A and B are shown apart, each in its own frame.
Chain A
Amino acid sequence: MNSRAYELIDVCRTYPGTPPVHALRSVSLVIDHGDYVAIMGKSGSGKSTLLNMLGLLDVPTSGNVVVNGTNCASLTDAQRTDLRRQYIGFIFQSFHLMEYRSAAQNVALGLKYRGYGPSARARLALDALGQVGLTDKSHVLPSRLSGGERQRVAIARALAVSPKLLLCDEPTGNLDSDSANAVLCLIDEVNEKGLTVIIVTHDDEVAAHARRRLHASDGTVTELPRAGA
């Protein structure tokens, strides 16, 4: 496996308009496997756009995004989707759980797109829920879970597919402090097991969990000194 999880080379993203919006301006950075990176910045700074680039959910206007050694510049949408499915897991601020499906069914959705059969999906989903301490809530609908529990289900969904890269967009934004701490502990744990974690946040306390901190401002990204450095 390539030692570099990500390499961004002069990545720009411009949204057309009058005037055009330069969400990213010549961003270059390297993220190694096993890194724990926090991307910080105010609203509109480009941090979410950067995360979308890393997640292959968006295409740069110019520049190259290399994921695990694969240059995505010339990939089709289907190829990017396949790459995303193979390597990347997501955790969203608003959880994005399907309200009409149980916790286990939500966790198993990504496994379905990876080609797992019903029995394998059920087993892996239960294992993932066990990792986040929600085995007893596998048959519960999201509407009956607390905010923290719902985010833990979302984490289980991301972990169930055994990704190489975990992208988190404000994972504690909708949680109380206790739930936020529990979620951050989980994320810390998975990073300690070798998973590359990239977390977008505006909260310094959340960013403090990361070993690297990047600051986005007006489309540019700079790396902040490491804590204690």
Chain B
Amino acid sequence: MKSWLAARNVFSEAVLAIAARPGRSIITAVGTLVGVGALTASIGIATTTGAQADRQFQSLANTLVTVTAPADSSGQLALPLESEERLDSLHGVKAAELQFQVSIGKAGVTALPPDADESRSTNVGVIAASPGIFDVSGAQFASGAGFSHLDNDRHLRVAVLGSVAATTLGLGQQSADSTVNIDGVPFLVMGVLSNVTNQSGLLNDAIIPVSVALEIWGPPVSGASVTIATQSNATSAVAHEAPLMLNPQLPKSLLVIGGSGTLNIQAQVGQDFSGLIRLIGGIALVIGFLGIGAITLLSVIERTSEIGLRRALGARRSIIGCQFVCESAILGFSGGVAGTIIAICVVLAIAQAHQQLAVFPIGVLFIAPLVGMLVGMLAGAYPSLRAARLEPVEALRR
């Protein structure tokens, strides 16, 4: 008999045998359905969240460089007051800002005059910064706006509150034009932040101009930093040149963070995702493999007399073995297809729930069912061998 005809007969006999026991076949296929579905869904979720993380990481990696200077022993500000202006002229810089933590007295930050009955000190921090901080941090305002270079040059006592700081002080998000007292000194609230793209700690602080902070409280004791938002692919160059711009005499005294640092974190996260995928998928496929193998072996035992009949009618051992392998391969493939479809639905649902764009490697959608088929074939190998080795005389007695 021609080989293609034999193959077609084996396939048709396998399909008939599967269709004859629909309940058993479904239970057998569930194994690979779960295994392939879990693996495929894991890959889809990881690539979707990884793409989201990639976008976030890329935005960070490509746009932020931080230059930090320790406290100056001479009592001076460790970075130039005109740091922002110097860096604005650097190629690849979108925005820059100078900032430092202000050490205020025990009076802290309050929303009422210090002699009012209901005033009390809060733990709201105070950050002195150049006006560029609002561009660098991607600040969004619930009310009002940030202070300008003119406000800084005029040493105006103005402040911008973070949303959390405003709440802590008992002020609402629409409290621009109200007054806060910082260490007993009144400041006009020019604006309230609703959100920032980075430096999320600013939402807990009150931000005041650098000139005013130096005038009232003097240079910071904990050093200062400059944060630079760069253009795409300019991070490395800016990170290299910024120290030279800020301290030409001792550029190496400055600590630069940005570019490769955040990209290394990205790679680590990616590795963590991949490891999780392998673990989940591997466990699920092992379960599917064992399930198909066990049920196929049970099927061989139950169909022993049928095997004997087929042998008596002229089926070679190889045909018997191929039939059972074909049955388990078809079941594995069917489970793989169903699992892939379910995985796609799960990933789409999760992506929609998190308002993300679902990302699926297209190759996985074709490979996943084939993995199911391969698992089915391997799981059915031993039962098929047992079926092929049955002697027709013994089989017909059952």
Specify which chain A residues have a CB less than 8 angstroms from the CB of B313 in the assembled complex. 85, 90, 109-110, 113, 157, 161
Q: Tell me whether A228 is interfacial, beta carbon within 8 Å.
A: no
Q: Tell me whether A77 is interfacial, beta carbon within 8 Å.
A: yes
Specify which chain A residues have a CB less than 8 angstroms from the CB of B306 in the assembled complex. 96, 98
Q: Which of B1, B20, B312 contacts A57 (CB 8 A)?
A: B312
Q: Is the CB of A96 within 8 A of B305?
A: yes
Give the docked Cα–Cα distance between A96 and B1 (Å): 25
Additional A-B contact list (11), CB under 8 Å, known A109-B309, A115-B1: A57-B393, A57-B396, A58-B391, A58-B393, A84-B314, A92-B396, A96-B396, A101-B16, A113-B315, A114-B1, A161-B314
Q: Is the CB of B314 within 8 A of A52?
A: no
Which of B6, B309, B314 is most buried by chain A, counting CB atoms within 10 A of its CB? Answer: B314
Q: Tell me whether B310 is interfacial, beta carbon within 8 Å.
A: yes
Q: Tell me whether A211 is interfacial, beta carbon within 8 Å.
A: no
The chain B residue with its CB closest to the CB of A49 is: B393
Give the docked Cα–Cα distance between A17 and B317 (Å): 27
Q: Which of B5, B316, B393 contacts A81 (CB 8 A)?
A: B316
A169 to chain B, nearest CB (A): 9
Q: Is the CB of A55 within 8 A of B312?
A: yes
Specify which chain A residues have a CB less than 8 angstroms from the CB of B80 in the assembled complex. none
Specify which chain A residues have a CB less than 8 angstroms from the CB of B310 in the assembled complex. 109, 113
Counting contact residues on chain A (CB < 8 A from B), the size range is 20 to 34
5 A-B residue pairs with Cβ-Cβ distance under 8 Å, sorted by A, are A77-B316, A84-B312, A85-B314, A96-B309, A114-B1
Q: Tell me whether B9 is interfacial, beta carbon within 8 Å.
A: yes
B81 to chain A, nearest CB (A): 90
Which of B5, B16, B392 is most buried by chain A, counting CB atoms within 10 A of its CB? Answer: B392
A128 to chain B, nearest CB (A): 14
Residues of B in contact (CB 8 Å), total 28
Specify which chain A residues have a CB less than 8 angstroms from the CB of B13 in the assembled complex. 112
Specify which chain B residues have a CB less than 8 angstroms from the CB of A78 in the assembled complex. 316-318
Interface digits, A41-75 against B, CB 8 Å rule (1 contact, 0 not)?
00000000000100101100000000000000000
Interface digits, A74-89 against B, CB 8 Å rule (1 contact, 0 not)?
0001100110111000
Specify which chain B residues have a CB less than 8 angstroms from the CB of A86 in the assembled complex. 314
B267 to chain A, nearest CB (A): 56
Q: Which of A52, A82, A113 contacts B393 (CB 8 A)?
A: A52
Interface digits, B288-324 against A, CB 8 Å rule (1 contact, 0 not)?
0000000000000000011011111111111100000
Q: Tell me whether B252 is interfacial, beta carbon within 8 Å.
A: no
Q: Is the CB of A57 within 8 A of B2?
A: no
Q: Is the CB of B392 within 8 A of A57?
A: yes
Give the docked Cα–Cα distance between A100 and B20 (Å): 6
Interface digits, B239-277 against A, CB 8 Å rule (1 contact, 0 not)?
000000000000000000000000000000000000000
Give the docked Cα–Cα distance between A112 and B10 (Å): 10
Give the docked Cα–Cα distance between A58 and B394 (Å): 10
Q: Is the CB of A81 within 8 A of B314?
A: yes
Give the docked Cα–Cα distance between A114 and B12 (Å): 15
Given contact pairs A58-B393, A92-B396, A112-B9, A81 touches B1 in the complex (Cβ within 8 A): no
> Among residues 160 to 197 in chain B, which have CB atoms less than 8 Å away from a CB atom of chain A?
none
Interface digits, A185-200 against B, CB 8 Å rule (1 contact, 0 not)?
0000000000000000
Specify which chain A residues have a CB less than 8 angstroms from the CB of B21 in the assembled complex. 100
A163 to chain B, nearest CB (A): 10
Given contact pairs A85-B313, A85-B314, A100-B20, A113 touches B396 in the complex (Cβ within 8 A): no
B84 to chain A, nearest CB (A): 83
> Among residues 84 to 131 in chain A, which have CB atoms less than 8 Å away from a CB atom of chain B?
84-86, 90, 92, 96, 98, 100-101, 105, 109-110, 112-115, 117
Specify which chain B residues have a CB less than 8 angstroms from the CB of A117 in the assembled complex. 5
Give the docked Cα–Cα distance between A80 and B5 (Å): 21
Q: Is the CB of B2 within 8 A of A81?
A: no
Q: Is the CB of B396 within 8 A of A82?
A: no
Q: Is the CB of A110 within 8 A of B316?
A: no
Give the docked Cα–Cα distance between A13 and B314 (Å): 23
A226 to chain B, nearest CB (A): 30
B13 to chain A, nearest CB (A): 7
Specify which chain B residues have a CB less than 8 angstroms from the CB of A101 in the assembled complex. 16, 20
> Among residues 1 to 51 in chain B, which have CB atoms less than 8 Å away from a CB atom of chain A?
1-2, 5-6, 9, 12-13, 16, 20-21
A115 to chain B, nearest CB (A): 4
A99 to chain B, nearest CB (A): 8
B167 to chain A, nearest CB (A): 72
Which of A52, A77, A82, A113 is most buried by chain B, counting CB atoms within 10 A of its CB? Answer: A113
The 7 A-B residue pairs with the shortest CB-CB distance, nearest first, are A85-B314, A100-B20, A115-B1, A113-B314, A110-B313, A96-B309, A57-B392
B51 to chain A, nearest CB (A): 49
